[in-house]
A and B are shown apart, each in its own frame.
Chain A
Amino acid sequence: EDQVTQSPEALRLQEGESSSLNCSYTVSGLRGLFWYRQDPGKGPEFLFTLYSAGEEKEKERLKATLTKKESFLHITAPKPEDSATYLCAVQQVDDKIIFGKGTRLHILP
């Protein structure tokens, strides 16, 4: 069964404390892997698309990487405004997109 698993479910960090979020996936065919940020009461906001193993994308304090079985979202020196739920999603060859349950990130000032 195709699935996307994110870990940890929740993460509390001090401001400036770098860490990584994990997304492991098993799908029959991968067209792309997405990372989204979701704030309470809002829809997911697009961050990155990764297409193939070895690819990396960066945006401000965030860097996403991809291997054949998992993706990492690295957060460097986070700030309180980085607090949100981070969602990973994979797009299959039939264009269907499957989301993980997300990692709730809380950055303490």
Chain B
Amino acid sequence: GAGVSQSPRYKVAKRGQDVALRCDPISGHVSLFWYQQALGQGPEFLTYFQNEAQLDKSGLPSDRFFAERPEGSVSTLKIQRTQQEDSAVYLCASSLAGNRAHGYTFGSGTRLTVV
């Protein structure tokens, strides 16, 4: 597709439920980032992939958060035993390797609400 696609667009989860958020990057984009954005805040880094390799996961807030990109394209962010503090918009961004000149293309995000 022409842009980064994220699904679902909205997700309501009961506290304790597991959720999986999907990101389809632009075809051929090597780098993929996940960010968490709380209301009124800037995006906070979660994790970064180059192809299928997860190069940095230092931003994942706890061991309940897990991300994968097994074939170097689609990525899934999984949150186990969701808590209310996990409520946020989860953004995915992708780019060609080293292509800083055009920045990173973001998806519209998944808004997660934990009730």
Within 8 A of B (CB), among A48-98: 48-49, 51, 87, 89, 91, 94-98
Q: How many residues of B are counted as interface, with CB atoms below 8 angstroms from the partner's CB atoms?
A: 27
Contact A41 B108 (CB under 8 A): yes
> Which B residues lie within 8 Å of A46 (CB)?
102-105
Known contacts A43-B91, A46-B104; A99 and B43 CB within 8 A of each other: yes
Nearest B residue (CB) for A101? B42
B107 at the interface (CB under 8 A from A): yes
Residue of B at shortest CB range from A51? Answer: B100
Q: Give the total number of A-B pairs whose CB atoms are below 8 A apart.
A: 64
Q: How would you classify the secondary structure of chain A's contact residues: helix, strand, loop or mixed?
A: strand
Other-chain contact of A87, B40, B43, B102 (Cβ < 8 Å)? B43
Query: Could you say which residues of chain A place their CB within 8 Å of the CB of B43?
Result: 44, 87, 99
Cβ–Cβ contact B108 & A97, under 8 A = no
Residue of B nearest to A47 (CB): B103
Q: Mark B10-54, 1 if CB is under 8 A from A, else 0.
A: 000000000000000000000101010000111111001010000
Bound CA–CA A99/B101 (angstroms)? 17
CB contact between A34 and one of B4, B44, B50, B103 (< 8 Å): that residue: B103
Given contacts A6-B42, A87-B43, A101-B40, 12 further A-B contacts (CB under 8 A): A34-B100, A43-B108, A44-B91, A46-B103, A46-B104, A49-B100, A95-B50, A96-B45, A99-B42, A99-B45, A101-B41, A102-B42
Hey, which bits of chain B sit against chain A, CB under 8 A? 4, 31, 33, 35, 40-45, 48, 50, 55-56, 58, 91, 93, 100-109
What is the interface of chain A, defined by CB distance below 8 A to chain B?
Answer: 4, 6, 31-32, 34, 36, 41-49, 51, 87, 89, 91, 94-102
